[in-house]
Amino acid sequence: MNIRSIAEKLEYLRTRDGEPLKLMEVCGTHTAGIFRSGIRGVLSPTIRLISGPGCPVCVTPAAYIDRCAMYARMPAHTLACFGDMLKVPGSARSLSEVRAEGGRVEMIYSPFEVLDWAMSAPERTFVIAAVGFETTVPAYGLLMDELIGRGIENVKLLTALKSAIPAIERICQTEESVDGFLCPGHVSVITGSKVYEPLAERYGKPFVVAGFEAEHLVHAIYELTRSAETVKADSTGGTNTPGQSAEAPKKRGSVRNLYGEAVSAEGNPKARRVMERYFKPGAAVWRGLGEMDASGLYLRGEYRRFDAGSRGLDEDGCLPDGCLCADVITGRIDPDACPMFGGACVPGNAQGPCMVSSEGACGIWYQNASGTFG
């Protein structure tokens, strides 16, 4: 079947009648795009979209927020962070609350804003809460270039930088029922689409890289659905065909890049070089996924003087009883299956980080209330 137009693909997805499929959008921006497009309500009930661990705020442990709050309260210190971090609950308070109580928390739109502050207030130390995936790490590398080039010593990074790829691999290992992955678009700009090939091969799953507009999403979900159908047909058909070896044939994974205007196979090697100049991988704790080797990015030893104590912030004891953020992040449950969702846990009174962040699955579900229509 050769379907070309978006309308035809949409019609296929709407009327599909086959084995149920579970497709994971890894990235929070995709979750937001999916809800804005209203596509969930259009899909056949046989296609289920689940949200993954692709919100850097949601997977950041509480101990990290507490460390941020500590700096905000420390004399002659200012904590600079992106807006998304302000409302994430720490074990006692969110940064927004710390600021309202007089703590020095400044919201930034770019880490480079801090350079001028640091130059004009040399007696003050500026701690940047550097949270994000591969997408944002190169910017911190460039910031390091500036700090070193200008001889600025009163800026430190408190990093919770993570690599999305090990997390996707962890999901491949533990969540066998996921039939395909919608890869994080912005991360892929840096890493390139080739980075998914070993995963596709090893786990026999389809991976699609796509943009965020409604048409992109239709295209991507269509491709994932078709590829997943092929994988399923191969594996079931294989075992039923006489004359084949007793072993089930190896499932064929695949990688398709539908976001060619922004993502190449190789990604952005220049950005990766900047990353590698200052950061090296190390073990990191992800909320919901636990500790994973080489999934965190930390300042290299020679730049330790710029590190505000980013290692070992693993404690994550702040999730209240009943909060199922960890299950949401791994796609085990939909947000509205959490008993607190919409009742005890709403965006203005979030119990868990998934409800706080604009990229968090629970917040996106709640605000767009897609359950209303599908």
Restricting to residues 233-262, which ones interact with another protein according to CB under 8 A?
Answer: none
Contacts to another protein from residues 6-25, by CB under 8 A = 6, 10, 14
Cα–Cα distance measured from residue 72 to residue 112, given in angstroms and rounded to the nearest whole number: 19
Decide if residue 135 touches another protein (CB under 8 A).
yes
In the chain, the amino acid numbered 219 is H
Select the residue interacting with another protein from 22, 36, 232, 280 (CB under 8 A).
36
Decide if residue 370 touches another protein (CB under 8 A).
yes
Q: Which CB sits closer to another protein, 89 or 206?
A: 89
Least spacing, CB of residue 108 vs another protein, in Å: 9
Question: Is the Cβ–Cβ distance between 360 and 323 less than 8 Å?
Answer: no
- CB contact set of 87 (below 8 Å; sequence gap of 6+): 94, 95, 96, 350, 356
Mapped onto helix, strand or coil, the DSSP state of residue 297 is: strand
3-state SS track over 91-151: CCCCHHHHHHCCCCEEEECCCCHHHHHHHHCCCCEEEEEEEECCCCHHHHHHHHHHHHHHC
Decide if residue 66 touches another protein (CB under 8 A).
no
Decide if residue 148 touches another protein (CB under 8 A).
no
Select the residue interacting with another protein from 103, 206, 267, 352 (CB under 8 A).
103
Q: Which CB sits closer to another protein, 123 or 321?
A: 123
Nearest residue to 297 via CA among 277, 315, 283: 283
Task: Please name the helix (run of DSSP H) or strand (run of DSSP E) that holds residue 22, with its range, or none.
Answer: strand 21-27
Select the residue interacting with another protein from 12, 22, 42, 283 (CB under 8 A).
42
Cα–Cα distance measured from residue 17 to residue 60, given in angstroms and rounded to the nearest whole number: 39
Least spacing, CB of residue 149 vs another protein, in Å: 17
Contacting range for another protein; rule: CB under 8 A; set: 94-102, 145-153, 248-256, 267-275: 94-102
Contacting range for another protein; rule: CB under 8 A; set: 17-25, 237-245, 247-255, 364-372: 364-372
Select the residue interacting with another protein from 104, 156, 226, 272 (CB under 8 A).
104
Least spacing, CB of residue 368 vs another protein, in Å: 6
Decide if residue 119 touches another protein (CB under 8 A).
yes
Select the residue interacting with another protein from 16, 30, 67, 99 (CB under 8 A).
99
**Helix-helix angle 214-240:28-37, to 10 degrees:** 110
Locate 55 and state its tokens: 């919100």
In the chain, the amino acid numbered 314 is D
Contacts to another protein from residues 178-217, by CB under 8 A = 186-187, 212-215
Q: Which CB sits closer to another protein, 159 or 254?
A: 159
Select the residue interacting with another protein from 24, 131, 143, 228 (CB under 8 A).
131
Select the residue interacting with another protein from 4, 5, 109, 151 (CB under 8 A).
109
Q: Cα–Cα distances in Å, from 298 out to 125, 133, 282, 293?
A: 20, 12, 7, 13
Least spacing, CB of residue 98 vs another protein, in Å: 9
Q: Cα–Cα distances in Å, from 197 out to 147, 162, 258, 272?
A: 36, 20, 15, 18
Task: Please name the helix (run of DSSP H) or strand (run of DSSP E) that holds residue 255, with its range, or none.
Answer: strand 254-257
Q: Which CB sits closer to another protein, 56 or 331?
A: 56
